[in-house]
Chain A
Protein backbone atom coordinates (compact mmCIF):
# COMPACT_ATOMS: atom_id res chain seq x y z
CA UNK A 1 0.00 0.00 0.00
CA UNK A 2 1.07 3.50 -0.67
CA UNK A 3 2.20 5.81 2.06
CA UNK A 4 0.83 9.28 2.38
CA UNK A 5 1.01 12.02 4.93
CA UNK A 6 -2.59 11.68 5.88
CA UNK A 7 -5.62 13.63 4.78
CA UNK A 8 -6.97 16.49 6.90
CA UNK A 9 -9.26 14.09 8.70
CA UNK A 10 -6.47 11.74 9.67
CA UNK A 11 -6.41 11.41 13.46
CA UNK A 12 -3.60 8.96 13.96
CA UNK A 13 -0.84 8.33 11.49
CA UNK A 14 1.67 5.54 12.03
CA UNK A 15 4.61 5.66 9.68
CA UNK A 16 7.24 2.93 9.31
CA UNK A 17 7.18 2.21 13.02
CA UNK A 18 9.42 -0.44 14.57
CA UNK A 19 9.53 -1.31 18.23
CA UNK A 20 12.17 -3.42 19.94
CA UNK A 21 12.35 -5.06 23.34
CA UNK A 22 16.09 -5.37 23.65
CA UNK A 23 17.06 -7.68 20.83
CA UNK A 24 13.48 -8.75 20.12
CA UNK A 25 11.67 -6.92 17.35
CA UNK A 26 8.02 -6.76 18.33
CA UNK A 27 6.85 -4.36 15.61
CA UNK A 28 8.50 -4.20 12.22
CA UNK A 29 7.96 -1.30 9.83
CA UNK A 30 4.26 -0.84 10.47
CA UNK A 31 2.32 1.94 8.75
CA UNK A 32 -1.37 2.77 8.86
CA UNK A 33 -3.73 5.57 9.60
CA UNK A 34 -6.86 6.02 11.65
CA UNK A 35 -9.33 8.60 10.38
CA UNK A 36 -11.19 10.88 12.69
CA UNK A 37 -14.48 9.42 13.83
CA UNK A 38 -13.70 5.85 12.83
CA UNK A 39 -13.46 2.61 14.66
CA UNK A 40 -10.37 0.76 13.51
CA UNK A 41 -9.70 -2.69 14.82
CA UNK A 42 -6.34 -4.31 15.15
CA UNK A 43 -6.53 -8.09 15.07
CA UNK A 44 -3.92 -10.81 15.20
CA UNK A 45 -2.74 -13.87 17.10
CA UNK A 46 -1.15 -13.90 20.51
CA UNK A 47 2.19 -12.20 20.40
CA UNK A 48 1.52 -10.43 17.12
CA UNK A 49 2.43 -7.11 18.70
CA UNK A 50 -0.99 -5.51 19.16
CA UNK A 51 -0.45 -4.47 22.75
CA UNK A 52 3.02 -3.26 21.89
CA UNK A 53 1.63 -1.01 19.20
CA UNK A 54 -0.98 0.51 21.53
CA UNK A 55 1.69 1.10 24.16
CA UNK A 56 3.85 2.84 21.60
CA UNK A 57 0.95 5.11 20.69
CA UNK A 58 0.20 6.04 24.29
CA UNK A 59 3.86 6.59 25.08
CA UNK A 60 4.32 3.66 27.44
CA UNK A 61 7.17 2.36 25.30
CA UNK A 62 9.52 3.97 22.83
CA UNK A 63 9.56 3.37 19.13
CA UNK A 64 12.99 2.68 17.67
CA UNK A 65 12.19 3.68 14.11
CA UNK A 66 9.47 5.63 12.37
CA UNK A 67 7.01 8.18 13.72
CA UNK A 68 3.57 8.26 15.22
CA UNK A 69 1.62 11.47 14.77
CA UNK A 70 -1.71 12.61 16.06
CA UNK A 71 -3.58 15.37 14.25
CA UNK A 72 -0.39 16.36 12.48
CA UNK A 73 1.90 16.50 15.54
CA UNK A 74 4.54 13.87 16.09
CA UNK A 75 3.86 12.18 19.40
CA UNK A 76 6.18 9.19 19.29
CA UNK A 77 8.70 9.00 22.10
CA UNK A 78 7.05 11.65 24.24
CA UNK A 79 6.17 10.68 27.81
CA UNK A 80 2.79 9.04 28.42
CA UNK A 81 1.53 11.87 30.62
CA UNK A 82 2.11 14.33 27.78
CA UNK A 83 0.24 12.13 25.33
CA UNK A 84 -2.81 11.88 27.59
CA UNK A 85 -2.99 15.67 27.49
CA UNK A 86 -3.56 15.38 23.75
CA UNK A 87 -6.69 13.39 24.56
CA UNK A 88 -5.45 9.96 23.67
CA UNK A 89 -6.64 7.64 26.42
CA UNK A 90 -5.68 4.04 26.85
CA UNK A 91 -7.67 1.27 28.53
CA UNK A 92 -4.75 -1.12 28.89
CA UNK A 93 -4.60 -4.87 28.49
CA UNK A 94 -5.50 -6.65 31.71
CA UNK A 95 -7.51 -3.56 32.67
CA UNK A 96 -4.94 -2.04 35.01
CA UNK A 97 -7.58 -1.16 37.56
CA UNK A 98 -6.42 0.33 40.86
CA UNK A 99 -7.86 -2.48 42.92
CA UNK A 100 -7.53 -0.94 46.38
CA UNK A 101 -9.11 2.34 45.38
CA UNK A 102 -12.81 2.99 45.06
CA UNK A 103 -14.58 3.01 41.72
CA UNK A 104 -14.93 6.78 42.06
CA UNK A 105 -11.22 7.26 42.76
CA UNK A 106 -10.41 5.17 39.70
CA UNK A 107 -12.63 7.39 37.57
CA UNK A 108 -11.11 10.52 39.11
CA UNK A 109 -7.69 9.28 38.13
CA UNK A 110 -8.91 8.91 34.59
CA UNK A 111 -9.67 12.61 34.68
CA UNK A 112 -6.24 13.32 36.15
CA UNK A 113 -5.14 15.51 33.25
CA UNK A 114 -8.29 17.61 33.55
CA UNK A 115 -7.31 18.63 37.05
CA UNK A 116 -7.05 22.34 37.45
CA UNK A 117 -8.14 23.42 34.01
CA UNK A 118 -11.46 25.23 34.47
CA UNK A 119 -13.11 24.24 31.18
CA UNK A 120 -12.57 20.58 31.75
CA UNK A 121 -13.49 20.82 35.38
CA UNK A 122 -17.04 21.51 34.30
CA UNK A 123 -16.80 18.67 31.84
CA UNK A 124 -15.82 16.40 34.73
CA UNK A 125 -19.40 16.13 35.95
CA UNK A 126 -20.65 15.62 32.41
CA UNK A 127 -18.05 12.98 31.69
CA UNK A 128 -18.89 11.23 34.93
CA UNK A 129 -22.59 11.21 34.10
CA UNK A 130 -21.86 9.92 30.62
CA UNK A 131 -19.79 7.07 32.02
CA UNK A 132 -22.55 6.24 34.50
CA UNK A 133 -25.11 6.29 31.72
CA UNK A 134 -23.06 3.74 29.79
CA UNK A 135 -22.37 1.67 32.87
CA UNK A 136 -25.09 2.17 35.51
CA UNK A 137 -23.49 -0.64 37.48
CA UNK A 138 -20.50 1.58 38.18
CA UNK A 139 -22.73 4.23 39.69
CA UNK A 140 -24.21 1.72 42.10
CA UNK A 141 -20.74 0.61 43.13
CA UNK A 142 -18.95 3.90 43.15
CA UNK A 143 -18.00 3.82 46.82
CA UNK A 144 -16.84 0.23 46.58
CA UNK A 145 -13.23 -0.85 46.16
CA UNK A 146 -12.55 -1.70 42.53
CA UNK A 147 -11.05 -5.02 43.64
CA UNK A 148 -14.51 -6.19 44.70
CA UNK A 149 -15.94 -5.76 41.21
CA UNK A 150 -16.52 -8.69 38.90
CA UNK A 151 -14.32 -9.11 35.85
CA UNK A 152 -16.94 -7.59 33.58
CA UNK A 153 -17.49 -4.64 35.90
CA UNK A 154 -13.75 -4.09 36.08
CA UNK A 155 -13.61 -3.95 32.31
CA UNK A 156 -16.43 -1.41 32.33
CA UNK A 157 -14.45 0.59 34.85
CA UNK A 158 -11.34 0.42 32.68
CA UNK A 159 -13.27 1.80 29.72
CA UNK A 160 -15.10 4.33 31.88
CA UNK A 161 -11.84 5.50 33.39
CA UNK A 162 -10.34 6.03 29.95
CA UNK A 163 -13.48 7.97 28.95
CA UNK A 164 -13.00 10.29 31.93
CA UNK A 165 -9.99 11.70 30.12
CA UNK A 166 -12.49 12.91 27.52
CA UNK A 167 -10.54 11.23 24.71
CA UNK A 168 -10.55 12.11 21.06
CA UNK A 169 -8.80 8.83 20.43
CA UNK A 170 -9.67 5.89 22.64
CA UNK A 171 -7.32 2.91 22.69
CA UNK A 172 -8.99 -0.29 23.85
CA UNK A 173 -6.82 -3.37 24.40
CA UNK A 174 -8.87 -6.56 24.32
CA UNK A 175 -11.87 -5.28 26.26
CA UNK A 176 -13.67 -8.60 25.77
CA UNK A 177 -10.95 -10.72 27.35
CA UNK A 178 -12.35 -13.27 29.76
CA UNK A 179 -15.93 -12.04 29.66
CA UNK A 180 -19.21 -13.86 29.12
CA UNK A 181 -20.78 -13.56 25.65
CA UNK A 182 -23.61 -11.26 26.79
CA UNK A 183 -21.16 -8.89 28.44
CA UNK A 184 -18.94 -8.92 25.37
CA UNK A 185 -21.99 -8.00 23.34
CA UNK A 186 -22.65 -5.09 25.67
CA UNK A 187 -19.04 -3.88 25.58
CA UNK A 188 -19.13 -3.86 21.78
CA UNK A 189 -22.45 -2.00 21.80
CA UNK A 190 -21.03 0.64 24.06
CA UNK A 191 -17.91 0.92 21.94
CA UNK A 192 -20.18 1.80 19.02
CA UNK A 193 -22.06 4.34 21.15
CA UNK A 194 -18.81 5.94 22.26
CA UNK A 195 -17.78 6.18 18.64
CA UNK A 196 -21.12 7.68 17.61
CA UNK A 197 -20.53 10.42 20.16
CA UNK A 198 -17.56 11.47 18.06
CA UNK A 199 -14.66 9.65 19.61
CA UNK A 200 -12.21 7.81 17.39
CA UNK A 201 -11.56 4.26 18.56
CA UNK A 202 -8.61 1.96 17.99
CA UNK A 203 -9.73 -1.44 19.17
CA UNK A 204 -7.44 -4.40 19.71
CA UNK A 205 -9.36 -7.66 19.66
CA UNK A 206 -9.06 -11.42 19.53
CA UNK A 207 -12.74 -11.58 18.74
CA UNK A 208 -12.09 -10.84 15.09
CA UNK A 209 -15.61 -11.41 13.84
CA UNK A 210 -17.35 -9.13 16.30
CA UNK A 211 -14.62 -6.52 16.08
CA UNK A 212 -14.80 -6.38 12.30
CA UNK A 213 -18.56 -6.15 12.44
CA UNK A 214 -18.46 -2.89 14.36
CA UNK A 215 -15.28 -1.42 12.87
CA UNK A 216 -14.91 0.70 9.74
CA UNK A 217 -11.44 -0.55 8.98
CA UNK A 218 -9.39 -3.48 10.09
CA UNK A 219 -5.70 -4.22 10.32
CA UNK A 220 -4.34 -7.73 10.62
CA UNK A 221 -1.02 -7.98 12.39
CA UNK A 222 1.18 -11.05 12.09
CA UNK A 223 4.44 -11.35 14.06
CA UNK A 224 4.95 -7.63 14.15
CA UNK A 225 4.08 -6.93 10.54
CA UNK A 226 0.90 -5.90 8.82
CA UNK A 227 -0.45 -8.87 6.91
CA UNK A 228 -3.63 -7.26 5.65
CA UNK A 229 -5.51 -4.05 5.96
CA UNK A 230 -8.66 -2.65 4.51
CA UNK A 231 -12.34 -2.00 4.97
CA UNK A 232 -13.92 -4.30 7.54
CA UNK A 233 -16.41 -5.58 5.00
CA UNK A 234 -13.57 -6.55 2.66
CA UNK A 235 -11.65 -8.26 5.43
CA UNK A 236 -14.75 -10.13 6.53
CA UNK A 237 -15.14 -11.36 2.98
CA UNK A 238 -11.51 -12.27 2.43
CA UNK A 239 -10.58 -15.93 2.49
CA UNK A 240 -7.38 -15.37 4.39
CA UNK A 241 -9.14 -13.69 7.29
CA UNK A 242 -11.95 -16.19 7.32
CA UNK A 243 -9.49 -19.06 7.51
CA UNK A 244 -7.06 -17.65 10.00
CA UNK A 245 -9.27 -15.63 12.34
CA UNK A 246 -12.86 -16.62 11.93
CA UNK A 247 -12.18 -20.34 12.13
CA UNK A 248 -13.71 -21.31 8.85
Chain B
Protein backbone atom coordinates (compact mmCIF):
# COMPACT_ATOMS: atom_id res chain seq x y z
CA UNK B 1 0.00 0.00 0.00
CA UNK B 2 2.99 2.27 0.34
CA UNK B 3 3.04 4.10 -2.99
CA UNK B 4 -0.60 5.02 -2.62
CA UNK B 5 -0.59 5.75 1.08
CA UNK B 6 -0.24 9.50 0.77
CA UNK B 7 -2.66 9.70 -2.09
CA UNK B 8 -5.35 7.91 -0.14
CA UNK B 9 -4.65 9.97 2.93
CA UNK B 10 -5.54 13.11 0.94
CA UNK B 11 -8.81 11.56 -0.13
CA UNK B 12 -9.61 11.19 3.54
CA UNK B 13 -8.25 14.50 4.76
CA UNK B 14 -10.46 16.35 2.35
CA UNK B 15 -13.73 15.39 4.07
CA UNK B 16 -12.18 16.25 7.43
CA UNK B 17 -11.33 19.71 6.13
CA UNK B 18 -14.86 20.10 4.79
CA UNK B 19 -16.24 19.06 8.15
CA UNK B 20 -14.26 21.69 9.99
CA UNK B 21 -15.24 24.37 7.50
CA UNK B 22 -18.86 23.42 8.06
CA UNK B 23 -18.19 23.34 11.77
CA UNK B 24 -16.98 26.92 11.86
CA UNK B 25 -19.20 28.53 9.26
CA UNK B 26 -22.43 26.66 8.67
CA UNK B 27 -23.42 24.43 11.54
CA UNK B 28 -24.64 27.17 13.86
CA UNK B 29 -27.39 28.03 11.41
CA UNK B 30 -28.90 24.54 11.45
CA UNK B 31 -32.11 24.27 13.44
CA UNK B 32 -31.47 22.49 16.76
CA UNK B 33 -33.90 19.69 15.99
CA UNK B 34 -32.22 18.81 12.69
CA UNK B 35 -28.84 19.28 14.30
CA UNK B 36 -29.72 16.64 16.88
CA UNK B 37 -30.69 14.19 14.14
CA UNK B 38 -27.43 14.95 12.37
CA UNK B 39 -25.41 14.28 15.50
CA UNK B 40 -27.23 11.03 16.28
CA UNK B 41 -26.67 9.95 12.69
CA UNK B 42 -22.95 10.49 13.18
CA UNK B 43 -22.86 8.44 16.38
CA UNK B 44 -24.87 5.68 14.74
CA UNK B 45 -22.52 5.62 11.74
CA UNK B 46 -19.59 4.92 14.07
CA UNK B 47 -21.59 2.19 15.80
CA UNK B 48 -22.82 0.54 12.61
CA UNK B 49 -19.49 0.63 10.78
CA UNK B 50 -17.63 -0.79 13.76
CA UNK B 51 -20.21 -3.53 14.32
CA UNK B 52 -19.95 -4.35 10.63
CA UNK B 53 -16.30 -5.15 11.21
CA UNK B 54 -17.38 -7.93 13.57
CA UNK B 55 -20.73 -9.07 12.20
CA UNK B 56 -20.24 -8.30 8.54
CA UNK B 57 -16.57 -8.65 7.71
CA UNK B 58 -15.53 -11.28 10.23
CA UNK B 59 -18.84 -13.14 10.30
CA UNK B 60 -19.20 -13.32 14.07
CA UNK B 61 -22.54 -12.43 15.56
CA UNK B 62 -22.19 -9.89 18.35
CA UNK B 63 -25.36 -8.75 20.09
CA UNK B 64 -23.73 -6.56 22.70
CA UNK B 65 -22.56 -3.47 20.89
CA UNK B 66 -24.62 -1.20 23.15
CA UNK B 67 -22.82 -2.74 26.13
CA UNK B 68 -19.47 -1.58 24.78
CA UNK B 69 -20.95 1.80 24.00
CA UNK B 70 -22.09 1.94 27.61
CA UNK B 71 -18.65 1.07 28.95
CA UNK B 72 -17.03 3.72 26.76
CA UNK B 73 -19.65 6.31 27.61
CA UNK B 74 -19.39 5.80 31.34
CA UNK B 75 -15.61 5.64 31.42
CA UNK B 76 -15.17 8.85 29.47
CA UNK B 77 -17.98 10.68 31.28
CA UNK B 78 -16.56 9.54 34.60
CA UNK B 79 -13.23 11.01 33.65
CA UNK B 80 -14.58 14.37 32.57
CA UNK B 81 -17.33 14.70 35.16
CA UNK B 82 -16.71 12.89 38.39
CA UNK B 83 -12.97 13.39 38.46
CA UNK B 84 -13.37 17.12 37.99
CA UNK B 85 -15.91 17.33 40.76
CA UNK B 86 -13.67 15.46 43.13
CA UNK B 87 -10.57 17.39 42.26
CA UNK B 88 -11.54 20.96 41.41
CA UNK B 89 -7.83 21.72 41.17
CA UNK B 90 -7.79 19.91 37.86
CA UNK B 91 -10.50 21.97 36.30
CA UNK B 92 -9.09 25.34 37.44
CA UNK B 93 -5.71 24.33 36.16
CA UNK B 94 -7.22 23.40 32.84
CA UNK B 95 -9.56 26.35 32.39
CA UNK B 96 -6.78 28.78 33.27
CA UNK B 97 -4.76 27.47 30.38
CA UNK B 98 -5.98 28.19 26.92
CA UNK B 99 -4.53 26.53 23.90
CA UNK B 100 -4.23 27.40 20.28
CA UNK B 101 -7.13 28.56 18.08
CA UNK B 102 -9.86 27.82 20.53
CA UNK B 103 -8.47 24.38 21.32
CA UNK B 104 -8.48 24.44 25.08
CA UNK B 105 -7.15 21.98 27.54
CA UNK B 106 -10.68 20.70 27.93
CA UNK B 107 -10.59 19.43 24.37
CA UNK B 108 -7.47 17.47 25.13
CA UNK B 109 -9.06 16.10 28.29
CA UNK B 110 -12.04 15.13 26.19
CA UNK B 111 -9.92 13.37 23.58
CA UNK B 112 -8.07 11.59 26.34
CA UNK B 113 -11.32 10.52 27.96
CA UNK B 114 -12.63 9.23 24.63
CA UNK B 115 -9.47 7.22 24.18
CA UNK B 116 -9.82 5.80 27.68
CA UNK B 117 -13.48 5.02 26.99
CA UNK B 118 -12.49 3.19 23.83
CA UNK B 119 -9.74 1.32 25.62
CA UNK B 120 -12.07 0.41 28.48
CA UNK B 121 -14.53 -1.01 25.98
CA UNK B 122 -11.71 -2.92 24.25
CA UNK B 123 -10.63 -4.47 27.51
CA UNK B 124 -14.22 -5.52 28.14
CA UNK B 125 -14.32 -6.82 24.56
CA UNK B 126 -11.18 -8.84 25.11
CA UNK B 127 -12.48 -10.40 28.31
CA UNK B 128 -15.79 -11.28 26.71
CA UNK B 129 -14.41 -12.20 23.31
CA UNK B 130 -11.48 -14.43 24.13
CA UNK B 131 -13.36 -17.27 25.83
CA UNK B 132 -16.32 -17.23 23.46
CA UNK B 133 -14.38 -16.71 20.23
CA UNK B 134 -12.09 -19.65 20.86
CA UNK B 135 -15.06 -21.85 20.12
CA UNK B 136 -16.72 -22.21 16.78
CA UNK B 137 -20.42 -21.58 16.57
CA UNK B 138 -22.75 -18.97 17.92
CA UNK B 139 -21.46 -18.71 21.45
CA UNK B 140 -20.56 -15.11 20.87
CA UNK B 141 -24.18 -14.11 20.28
CA UNK B 142 -25.26 -15.63 23.57
CA UNK B 143 -22.33 -14.33 25.57
CA UNK B 144 -22.55 -10.79 24.20
CA UNK B 145 -26.29 -10.77 24.83
CA UNK B 146 -25.56 -11.61 28.45
CA UNK B 147 -22.71 -9.12 28.57
CA UNK B 148 -25.00 -6.22 27.58
CA UNK B 149 -27.36 -7.08 30.41
CA UNK B 150 -24.56 -7.55 32.94
CA UNK B 151 -23.12 -4.13 32.13
CA UNK B 152 -26.55 -2.55 32.48
CA UNK B 153 -27.18 -4.14 35.87
CA UNK B 154 -23.65 -3.37 36.98
CA UNK B 155 -24.01 0.32 36.13
CA UNK B 156 -27.40 0.42 37.86
CA UNK B 157 -25.64 -0.62 41.04
CA UNK B 158 -22.57 1.60 40.95
CA UNK B 159 -23.46 4.71 42.88
CA UNK B 160 -20.38 6.75 41.97
CA UNK B 161 -21.61 7.00 38.39
CA UNK B 162 -25.21 7.69 39.30
CA UNK B 163 -26.67 4.19 39.40
CA UNK B 164 -30.29 4.14 38.34
CA UNK B 165 -30.52 7.91 38.57
CA UNK B 166 -28.12 8.23 35.70
CA UNK B 167 -25.08 10.44 35.36
CA UNK B 168 -26.02 14.11 34.81
CA UNK B 169 -24.04 17.30 34.12
CA UNK B 170 -21.63 15.85 31.63
CA UNK B 171 -19.82 18.73 29.88
CA UNK B 172 -20.97 19.41 26.28
CA UNK B 173 -17.69 18.60 24.63
CA UNK B 174 -18.99 16.77 21.58
CA UNK B 175 -19.13 19.30 18.79
CA UNK B 176 -20.05 18.73 15.18
CA UNK B 177 -16.43 18.95 14.14
CA UNK B 178 -15.11 16.47 16.67
CA UNK B 179 -17.90 13.97 16.15
CA UNK B 180 -17.63 13.90 12.38
CA UNK B 181 -13.86 13.79 12.46
CA UNK B 182 -14.29 10.59 14.44
CA UNK B 183 -16.88 9.39 11.94
CA UNK B 184 -14.36 9.82 9.12
CA UNK B 185 -11.62 8.32 11.27
CA UNK B 186 -13.72 5.21 12.00
CA UNK B 187 -14.66 4.71 8.37
CA UNK B 188 -11.04 5.25 7.33
CA UNK B 189 -9.66 2.78 9.85
CA UNK B 190 -12.19 0.07 9.08
CA UNK B 191 -11.75 0.55 5.35
CA UNK B 192 -7.97 0.38 5.57
CA UNK B 193 -8.21 -2.63 7.78
CA UNK B 194 -10.52 -4.72 5.64
CA UNK B 195 -8.37 -4.00 2.61
CA UNK B 196 -5.17 -5.04 4.33
CA UNK B 197 -3.71 -8.51 4.77
CA UNK B 198 -5.18 -8.61 8.27
CA UNK B 199 -8.55 -7.70 6.89
CA UNK B 200 -8.32 -10.52 4.41
CA UNK B 201 -7.77 -12.84 7.33
CA UNK B 202 -10.98 -11.50 8.90
CA UNK B 203 -12.84 -12.14 5.65
CA UNK B 204 -11.42 -15.64 5.38
CA UNK B 205 -12.77 -16.46 8.83
CA UNK B 206 -16.20 -15.33 7.70
CA UNK B 207 -15.99 -17.31 4.48
CA UNK B 208 -14.73 -20.63 5.84
CA UNK B 209 -13.20 -20.86 9.25
CA UNK B 210 -11.67 -24.31 8.82
CA UNK B 211 -10.11 -23.40 5.49
CA UNK B 212 -8.78 -20.17 7.00
CA UNK B 213 -7.15 -22.21 9.73
CA UNK B 214 -5.68 -24.53 7.14
CA UNK B 215 -4.15 -21.48 5.43
CA UNK B 216 -2.32 -20.68 8.63
CA UNK B 217 -4.61 -17.90 9.80
CA UNK B 218 -4.81 -17.88 13.57
CA UNK B 219 -8.56 -17.67 13.54
CA UNK B 220 -9.05 -17.07 17.25
CA UNK B 221 -6.61 -14.19 17.10
CA UNK B 222 -8.27 -12.73 14.01
CA UNK B 223 -11.71 -12.92 15.58
CA UNK B 224 -10.57 -11.41 18.86
CA UNK B 225 -8.78 -8.59 17.02
CA UNK B 226 -11.85 -7.69 15.02
CA UNK B 227 -14.01 -7.89 18.10
CA UNK B 228 -11.72 -5.78 20.29
CA UNK B 229 -11.41 -3.14 17.56
CA UNK B 230 -15.17 -3.10 17.11
CA UNK B 231 -15.56 -2.63 20.86
CA UNK B 232 -13.04 0.21 20.81
CA UNK B 233 -15.03 2.22 18.31
CA UNK B 234 -18.27 1.46 20.13
CA UNK B 235 -16.63 2.80 23.29
CA UNK B 236 -15.57 5.99 21.51
CA UNK B 237 -19.11 6.35 20.16
CA UNK B 238 -20.37 5.98 23.72
CA UNK B 239 -18.07 8.78 24.90
CA UNK B 240 -19.17 11.04 22.07
CA UNK B 241 -22.79 10.25 22.85
CA UNK B 242 -22.33 11.00 26.57
CA UNK B 243 -20.78 14.39 25.90
CA UNK B 244 -23.46 15.29 23.42
CA UNK B 245 -26.55 14.28 25.40
CA UNK B 246 -24.82 15.39 28.63
CA UNK B 247 -26.66 12.73 30.59
CA UNK B 248 -26.18 8.98 30.75
CA UNK B 249 -28.74 6.45 31.82
CA UNK B 250 -27.97 2.74 31.95
CA UNK B 251 -31.33 1.96 30.31
CA UNK B 252 -30.25 3.74 27.15
CA UNK B 253 -27.86 0.90 26.40
CA UNK B 254 -30.30 -1.97 26.60
CA UNK B 255 -30.77 -4.79 24.15
CA UNK B 256 -32.97 -2.60 21.95
CA UNK B 257 -30.00 -0.35 21.26
CA UNK B 258 -27.80 -3.31 20.32
CA UNK B 259 -30.59 -4.60 18.12
CA UNK B 260 -30.94 -1.23 16.44
CA UNK B 261 -27.25 -1.29 15.47
CA UNK B 262 -27.55 -4.86 14.20
CA UNK B 263 -30.48 -3.78 12.02
CA UNK B 264 -28.36 -0.99 10.56
CA UNK B 265 -25.63 -3.45 9.63
CA UNK B 266 -28.02 -6.02 8.19
CA UNK B 267 -30.02 -3.40 6.33
CA UNK B 268 -26.95 -1.81 4.79
CA UNK B 269 -25.36 -5.12 3.92
CA UNK B 270 -23.07 -7.29 5.97
CA UNK B 271 -19.67 -6.35 4.70
CA UNK B 272 -20.44 -2.98 3.13
CA UNK B 273 -19.16 0.14 4.86
CA UNK B 274 -21.15 2.36 2.54
CA UNK B 275 -24.25 0.34 3.33
CA UNK B 276 -23.76 0.77 7.06
CA UNK B 277 -23.36 4.53 6.67
CA UNK B 278 -26.50 4.85 4.58
CA UNK B 279 -28.53 2.57 6.83
CA UNK B 280 -27.36 4.37 9.97
CA UNK B 281 -28.50 7.72 8.60
CA UNK B 282 -31.72 6.26 7.24
CA UNK B 283 -32.74 4.57 10.48
CA UNK B 284 -31.85 7.59 12.60
CA UNK B 285 -34.03 9.81 10.43
CA UNK B 286 -36.88 7.27 10.31
CA UNK B 287 -36.85 6.97 14.05
CA UNK B 288 -37.21 10.71 14.48
CA UNK B 289 -39.84 10.93 11.79
CA UNK B 290 -41.87 8.35 13.68
CA UNK B 291 -41.67 10.15 16.99
CA UNK B 292 -44.88 12.25 16.53
CA UNK B 293 -46.80 9.08 15.65
CA UNK B 294 -45.47 7.50 18.81
CA UNK B 295 -46.49 10.34 21.12
CA UNK B 296 -49.90 10.36 19.51
CA UNK B 297 -50.62 6.64 19.74
CA UNK B 298 -48.38 5.74 22.70
CA UNK B 299 -47.03 2.79 20.77
CA UNK B 300 -43.34 2.32 20.16
CA UNK B 301 -43.37 1.94 16.40
CA UNK B 302 -39.66 1.49 16.14
CA UNK B 303 -39.73 -2.26 16.55
CA UNK B 304 -42.68 -2.61 14.18
CA UNK B 305 -40.87 -0.62 11.54
CA UNK B 306 -37.61 -2.48 12.05
CA UNK B 307 -39.34 -5.82 11.69
CA UNK B 308 -41.17 -4.67 8.58
CA UNK B 309 -37.98 -3.31 7.07
CA UNK B 310 -36.23 -6.57 7.75
CA UNK B 311 -39.00 -8.64 6.20
CA UNK B 312 -39.14 -6.47 3.09
CA UNK B 313 -35.36 -6.58 2.87
CA UNK B 314 -35.17 -10.34 3.17
CA UNK B 315 -37.76 -10.69 0.44
CA UNK B 316 -36.21 -8.24 -1.98
CA UNK B 317 -32.52 -7.93 -1.17
CA UNK B 318 -31.41 -10.76 1.09
CA UNK B 319 -27.84 -9.45 1.19
CA UNK B 320 -28.81 -6.01 2.40
CA UNK B 321 -29.12 -2.80 0.43
CA UNK B 322 -25.58 -2.95 -0.88
CA UNK B 323 -24.53 -6.53 -0.20
CA UNK B 324 -20.77 -6.29 0.00
CA UNK B 325 -20.52 -3.48 -2.54
CA UNK B 326 -18.97 -0.13 -1.81
CA UNK B 327 -19.37 3.37 -3.18
CA UNK B 328 -16.27 2.94 -5.26
CA UNK B 329 -14.95 6.42 -5.84
CA UNK B 330 -14.28 6.76 -2.14
CA UNK B 331 -13.48 3.19 -1.36
CA UNK B 332 -11.10 2.59 -4.20
CA UNK B 333 -9.09 -0.54 -3.76
CA UNK B 334 -5.44 0.14 -4.21
CA UNK B 335 -2.16 -1.65 -3.99
CA UNK B 336 -3.48 -5.14 -3.42
CA UNK B 337 -0.09 -6.51 -2.60
CA UNK B 338 0.59 -8.74 0.31
CA UNK B 339 1.76 -6.84 3.44
Contact = CB atoms under 8 A, between A and B. Distances in A.
Contact of A116 (B218, B219, B339): B339
Contact of A97 (B211, B213, B219): B211
B216 A85 contact: yes
Interface residues on A, range: 20 to 34
Contacts of B22: none
Interface in B265-312: 271
Interface string A154-168: 000000010001000
Contacts, number: 79
Contacts of A109: 200-201, 204, 212, 215, 217
Best-surrounded residue of A89, A105, A121 (most CB of chain B within 10 A): A105
A60 B197 contact: no
Contacts of B212: 98, 109
A111 B210 CA distance: 16
A84 interface: yes
Contacts of A124: 338
Nearest to B205: A98
Best-surrounded residue of B203, B212, B215, B218 (most CB of chain A within 10 A): B215
B91 interface: no
A100 B210 contact: no
Interface in B190-210: 197, 200-201, 203-204, 207-208, 210
A81 B205 CA distance: 13
Contacts of B219: 81
B217 to A, nearest CB: 6
17 contacts: A60-B210, A60-B214, A84-B215, A92-B211, A97-B208, A98-B203, A98-B211, A100-B203, A100-B271, A105-B203, A108-B336, A109-B212, A110-B215, A112-B197, A112-B201, A112-B216, A121-B338
Interface of A: 58-60, 79-81, 83-85, 89-90, 92, 96-101, 104-105, 108-116, 121, 124, 161, 165
